[in-house]
Structure 1
């Protein structure tokens, strides 16, 4: 007697499902509704990272800007780290009760937590309650996102015709990048409308509060959606899993697929994704000191140009397989990240540019600090360069009225506005990185869906995806920034001791993390992944 569980395969289900249920019109509406909701969740999740530099001054002490930024990035990363737990909780729920209602819950949680982040008073008002409340809401965001992606990808895949999963699920893959693009667009537009100073004071809250409206629209649309016909048929036959967690991770064959998906695919895909988009933005703003609006324009234009390639590579994977495309994206990142970032840095290296000294201006203003006798001296220095680059430095020094009180460190903000030629080159360099992202990310949803049977698919695919992206990928900005800070400090210590720098190019040290992780994933994937998943043949 055969004791193996008898899975109702998707081929059997589709043959028993009326064609009208999976018609072209229905499929397009499924993709549209799923993609819109997922895009909004990514928007909610990413505005925090996009505003990291400003949030560090709002929710953390200002006396140590580097520590404040690292604390903000750590809070940002915390949302990623809990994503696997969200995958377990909501994945199990999705395999038990259905895909539709599960990612309705995740949408409400994500939108609500984002909205309330925009309402939290700053550190100067409520002290350490500010970062604690932000951290709590950030964790809720992470849990919600952990349940959203697997549901949306599974939902679309179970509507897609056989042999076209890569193409149709790739539309879901565009939502992460488009969510980042929309977040950058809303931030830049809000900043332009309210002004630089007001945006830093209170205008940054608008993109968070706006989430409530976007989520409301998406909830209305998703309520009109029907459950996946594949899951509906499975449920009507009484063959859904009674314990998705035990079946996914307690059975050796499924656990092996989960681990292989994690270490051979999503781990490498995750670091490529977050290096090419988030770390690129952070590097441009912090290492290159590119002016805020211009830095966001660089990334936004690159994202917009590259987004169609998610669909191109997703569709191509239906024809030639997922493995080769994903591994090629990893390999390109491994081999080219350091030269790309070295070139990015050189574009704004003022030491290599000819300064037009006659155009240098220094403006000094002195005023009293509100409600004190202390003085605030603001020094604004502007410089011009022969290639069209402009530089601006604003230094704010508080001078205590009591001469016996030590002066605090001045607050210094530097910004470089690139010339048109350098701007185009910077966009191209970021575009290259985002193209690597489309190669690893475009086919990944179909790859994961095809590894696991329908009854445990939501749970099984969600965990490796969110560990790979949430933990390995989500830690890229924090670990990379910390590596650069460590190398910079080592060089400063060496300079103080009168010896040669410990690291020749400290600004590139952060790249070792994604390069090493992607290399490990590439080797495992090359050796152990098959080009087409077993589930394709079984279905």
Structure 2
């Protein structure tokens, strides 16, 4: 233990200029506040997205006019679909804000819009009170959320890429994207509580509004957490004061130089998003269609695999930090291409319980899902990072992920249910091939290495 010593004031001081004050070292940042700020946004994003889809059959009767219950439910799902449609546009609009005003500003703005829209949906009068305005306002609010969510994930990806310690960058990527999985779990937990306490009639009679109020509160919590986070230093260093014409010309040059990587991100996203929606969204329905489980059993069987998926994603991040992200991503999509059909065949034959098949599918999915955010963001210069990553990412998710359950149901209706896992295999093969398109930029500072 160090002890203090008193220095005599009459000691002879060597002649010469007095040394200046020792330079203060910048504190080493561990990025944990920034990681928390990014992760809570993922929880809110997935909760808001899922709560609408799960509660749509319950609020449709109140929010949509008419006498046909099927038409009302279809109208409610239309509101879900438009969110996917506008997400690519949102990734551009919100991405431009994040690329020009800062990551923290973009993340704060997205949470304000998401949580505000959720509160407004919770308080929105029904069709009996305001007629056709009820569904129109509902869809308008979903458009706002879709625009905001289109920029949320790419902004988080850029933020984590630029603030995480280099040696933990992909661990942080896995943890931050795990927030999306946790948001799904939390959403199903809230809906289960509502149905248990209020019953289906109570939820349909207005209890569904509680779900959207919870979504709004989660958004406020995320906003509070993000206020304590700092701006990305890498973004701050990259800012240059230039006239608008020069800035536009430079951005065009950067976008042109990034076209190949944007194509690779689109194709790699295709493989990940199809397997994600197959495993996390459609697998319970697939098992029910085969008579292996009931709807409630299939949904309940997802809980443990989803929790283990979060752990596997963090583990994949640790491995990628040591072996390299592209190789780990390539191994994951390769496993999806090889293992998906055998796992589903064994499940269909009864050789594997549904929860075991789900877990095996998630193990294969863990690395691509965990690494995609930061891996993709690193491929682009800081000045265009959010837009350049976000556009191909949201396009791939919307075109192939959001439509996959519809495609799977259409195949099942035609007696072609065996083709469903083969679709995921085809997407994984495309993603595997796309990894060889990736070109690391020559300027390592642009990639954040």
Specify the alignment match of 1:266 in structure 2.
Answer: 269
In the alignment, is residue 331 of structure 1 matched against residue 240 of structure 2?
A: no
SS in 1 for 2:81: helix
Partners of 1:461 and 1:434 in 2: CA distance: 24
Given candidates 294, 298, 302, the residue that maps to 1:299 is 302
Contact 2:42 2:176 survives alignment (8 Å): yes
Specify the alignment match of 2:41 in structure 1.
Answer: 37
- Structure 1 segment 435-474 matched on structure 2, within 5 A: 435-474=363-402
Distance 1:338 1:72, change over 3 A: farther
SS in 1 for 2:353: helix
Give 1:342 deviation, angstroms: 5.3
Contact 2:408 2:417 survives alignment (8 Å): no
Partners of 1:528 and 1:142 in 2: CA distance: 30
Contact 1:184 1:300 survives alignment (8 Å): no
Higher helix share: 2
Contact 1:314 1:442 survives alignment (8 Å): yes
In the alignment, is residue 427 of structure 1 matched against residue 355 of structure 2?
A: yes
- Structure 1 segment 289-368 matched on structure 2, within 5 A: 290=293, 293-341=296-344
Specify the alignment match of 1:234 in structure 2.
Answer: 238
Given candidates 529, 532, 535, the residue that maps to 2:438 is 529
Distance 1:64 1:296, change over 3 A: same
Give 1:249 deviation, angstroms: 7.3
Partners of 1:226 and 1:75 in 2: CA distance: 35
Contact 1:84 1:467 survives alignment (8 Å): yes
Distance 1:48 1:247, change over 3 A: same
**TM-score normalised by the chain length of structure 2:** 0.82
Give 1:484 deviation, angstroms: 2.8
Distance 1:433 1:89, change over 3 A: same
Give 1:533 deviation, angstroms: 6.8
In the alignment, is residue 276 of structure 1 matched against residue 204 of structure 2?
A: no
Give 1:34 deviation, angstroms: 2.2
Specify the alignment match of 1:23 in structure 2.
Answer: 29
User: 1:222-245: CA deviations, max 9, x gaps?
Assistant: 22222112222333x648997479
- Structure 1 segment 21-420 matched on structure 2, within 5 A: 22-24=28-30, 27-54=31-58, 65=70, 72-73=76-77, 75-120=79-124, 130-235=134-239, 238=241, 243=247, 247=251, 251-263=255-267, 265-284=268-287, 288=291, 290=293, 293-341=296-344
SS in 2 for 1:19: coil
Cα RMSD between the aligned structures? Answer: 3.4
Give 1:93 deviation, angstroms: 0.8
Distance 1:229 1:180, change over 3 A: same
Specify the alignment match of 1:367 in structure 2.
Answer: none
User: 1:92-139: CA deviations, max 9, x gaps?
Assistant: 111111111111111111122233333445667766655444333222
Specify the alignment match of 2:407 in structure 1.
Answer: 479
Structure 1 unaligned spans of 5+: 1-15, 348-421, 488-502
Distance 1:428 1:19, change over 3 A: farther
Partners of 2:441 and 2:303 in 1: CA distance: 34
Specify the alignment match of 1:498 in structure 2.
Answer: none
SS in 2 for 1:443: helix
Contact 2:35 2:160 survives alignment (8 Å): yes
Contact 2:103 2:159 survives alignment (8 Å): yes
Specify the alignment match of 2:424 in structure 1.
Answer: 514
Distance 1:58 1:17, change over 3 A: farther
Partners of 1:437 and 1:120 in 2: CA distance: 38
Partners of 2:157 and 2:297 in 1: CA distance: 34
SS in 1 for 2:301: helix
User: 1:408-467: CA deviations, max 9, x gaps?
Assistant: xxxxxxxxxxxxxx9x92222222222233121111122112211222222222222222
The total of aligned residue pairs comes to 423
Distance 1:93 1:339, change over 3 A: same
SS in 2 for 1:103: helix
Distance 1:184 1:520, change over 3 A: same
Specify the alignment match of 1:368 in structure 2.
Answer: none
Structure 2 unaligned spans of 5+: 1-22
Distance 1:537 1:225, change over 3 A: closer
Partners of 2:59 and 2:368 in 1: CA distance: 31
Partners of 1:299 and 1:332 in 2: CA distance: 21
Partners of 2:423 and 2:358 in 1: CA distance: 18
Specify the alignment match of 1:495 in structure 2.
Answer: none
Distance 1:332 1:115, change over 3 A: farther
Specify the alignment match of 2:15 in structure 1.
Answer: none
Distance 1:121 1:475, change over 3 A: farther
Partners of 2:322 and 2:248 in 1: CA distance: 31
User: 1:301-322: CA deviations, max 9, x gaps?
Assistant: 2111221111111221122222
Distance 1:430 1:148, change over 3 A: same
